[in-house]
Structure 1
């Protein structure tokens, strides 16, 4: 193929390029150290093949028995409400289809516990009734024996009264009661003497003297008789047939003065009993009692030398 002549402009460009020289240097681009990596890390790796499946071990085939056939026999579904074709279904087939034979009846244990509890309660009730009957029988027998003994005692007492014989037991009981009363009075006297001797030693002699007095002397002195214990109301006969008092007359209606003078006004037993002795403190404390009484309180034992004695004021401090 013949070469065509180049135009003048192209020749000029080639000459200019040949006349210039260029040096190209290859350097690595500066990278940012904080810039995240650009390569992908979420690539999905294919999984390894799974383990081989477990071998299924089959037992050798066995011959089907009649029992297995009956167990695997499923009764047909028979409805208790619908029979559109009018088939006659036997009763055993209907009960077999109902599934009652497959249900297991379970009896609750509470029935057994209830029966046992009722049996125990009935037995205890019978025992309690029998024990109550035996107790009532013994009580009735005891009452009967007591009544018979009482009747025998009444009969014996009637025979003794008819025969005019007094029982010795009654006399002995009366004697015992009398002795008990005397013993009780003696104990009261001993207790009274002990209390008086403990509290009022100076009254012991007077008490012994009053106790040994004759009853006539006590009446003259007007001493009360402490041994008289009577339920009847006692009156002083000297108060009767007097010309003074409410029934004597010569008195206003508003005046109430049944007594002419005070009873034991001057010399009363209470004054002698409750009045303390004059010399009892002196006998106990001696001369220290007078010293304590005559001691001036709130006064210094020794006064200041050269000071005048201060007189006590008659009024309050101002």
Structure 2
């Protein structure tokens, strides 16, 4: 431990915890340090090379004439603002070391305490480089307090007066100006005729200014000073430029679209690159893609909803169609069963669902039979339920037949004829579908005889230039055609005249004349050439127009006109010229 303490260097500043026996040595070292800090002026004759610069070098005297340099004893002749700038003069302390405290004190006002050294952080009571008077820290005297108070008051009054003066109106003359009296004694020059001059007292008063007078001097705006210097940037040390960097920093010559003074041969790609259009990168916002995606998703959802809705509608329509077809099928089956007379097994509740008004409609014999069968059915308990349902169904069918006959009797002649024609001329397939075809009781197979002895169509359905769709006239030799195109009476005879002229009676003739006032019913005279035609017992038969089928687009007529040299519009040219002459 002792060897370690011996190797450690001595501390630069003594600690404040000192023992009593060490106090005399500390005091002695402080005295030696104070003697070393004292500035010693070399005696006269030994001042060669000595440069007096500090105020302590001069003491209470003046400058040293043997030292040929600028000297400022007691700072006389030194410019107060001579050292304005960022450059500081190099100074040394008493030991000849460079004093760096001015760097820390730069920019601060005079008299401000700046801690620039480590000893400034040490309390005054523990500093050894100061005297006992400096460490005493006595209170200031009354005079110093008064001086500080006056200085503070003056500074505060200056601030308040400047604020008050700024708020007051300007260019207002002072009414009570300061008045001063000056004693003036003229100079007596030799040879003056009027003798010595007399002393005069002159009263000095400020000239009164007119408040409405325009200002004599124009205020000029002071230009703004230079800005603060830019902050220093720490740069990397210089290095040798590589060939790649030289290529990157190579600036090509200017390419003009109008001039080429040097006569350079500029490639086309370089000239296009000089346009600068391809140097800008087009940046597209991501929200455009998001918008497009959102629209696509919304469209897809909408299409899916429409598809689901259409499928649902199709299903509902299909169900409704199936229900209607099922209902029609049941109705057709029921009609077929009613017309065939086959008893149909129905539910037990179907017998009592017929209204009372329709059930009561019937003949006396049927009513008697029903009355007779009532007690019998009620009395006979062994009767089968199927037989009762068959009787009810038979009664219902007879009732419907009576209703149909009643409607036919109440129907007019015209409607009855239409109904009969529609019923007779229906195809067997339509009759079967509507349940109107009455099945024969024969055991032979029911086969449509129209399918026999008929040739099938060819694969090509005839030639392209032939028109043989109808191989025979319509209704040829059929009873229906004869009934449709049959005349109302003979050509001559009493029957014809009777039907045509109201039966030959006076009343019938008058009725016919009222109904056919203008003779539109029967023509008295036919068209010319109509009597030469043969009598027709069927529908009208037309002849084929060979000219229309031979040249449907009138190409032959066009070629004939072209050969003749007839131009369109020439035939009307003469008429147009005549009309123009008439107008003129």
The TM tier, using the shorter chain, reads 0.3 to 0.5
Q: TM-score, normalised by structure 1?
A: 0.33
Q: TM-score, normalised by structure 2?
A: 0.20
